[in-house]
Amino acid sequence: MGAVATTSAQITIGVRAQQAMRAIDNFNNKMAAIQAPVLRVTRSMRRFSDLTGLTRVRNAMGALGRGTLDAFRSVSRIVPVLGSITGATTLAGIYRLSTAWADFGTKMRTTARSMGMPVSRLMALQNAARLSGGSADAMTGAMGQLSQLKWEIPHGFAPEAAAQFQALGISMKEVASSSPEKLFGRIADKSGG
């Protein structure tokens, strides 16, 4: 009789263990289902950051911050008496960095507006130029020139440019009505670029 009770207890414990494992597996599956959308959004945001260059900006800002902190630590270790001066210098550096970012933003907004496009689109085009191995400044300059030519050609100030557009098969009506970005694409298509 003792052997039957032991076997019965082992079977009961085995069944309970399997039930507990199923409950844990169900819980894990539910947690995975809850986490799945968050993980997909995280992957999408990471890819977006990589494609738009935000990852590089974040990494560069992190490196700048680390470099600034290292420089600050080095100076404050070398001459403890300069602690207050270093604090003032750091504040001045922060001010200069903030001013530089504000100037960058203002220039970017002004440039984008002069081309008739949103700042986000200009930044995307600059990032595309960088990713393809080109220069963002060269791309911005080319777009700016196209924007200026859109005004100059219809007013007779750039007859040589008008002739070049006509040689590429781009009409003056198309030049006047297209955005610089579309003109850029048309020129690239016509010139085989």
* 168 vs 161: CA distance, rounded Å: 11
Nearest to 143 by CA among 163, 116, 177: 116
Domain ranges of the chain: 1-52, 54-115, 119-190
Q: What DSSP character marks residue 92?
A: H
pLDDT tens by residue, 113-147: 888 888 888 888 888 888 888 888 888 888 888 88
Cα dist. 110→74, 141, 144, 189 in Å?
40, 13, 11, 28
Residue 76 above 60 pLDDT?
Answer: no
Judged by average pLDDT, the poorest of 22-36, 80-94, 125-139, 158-172 is 80-94
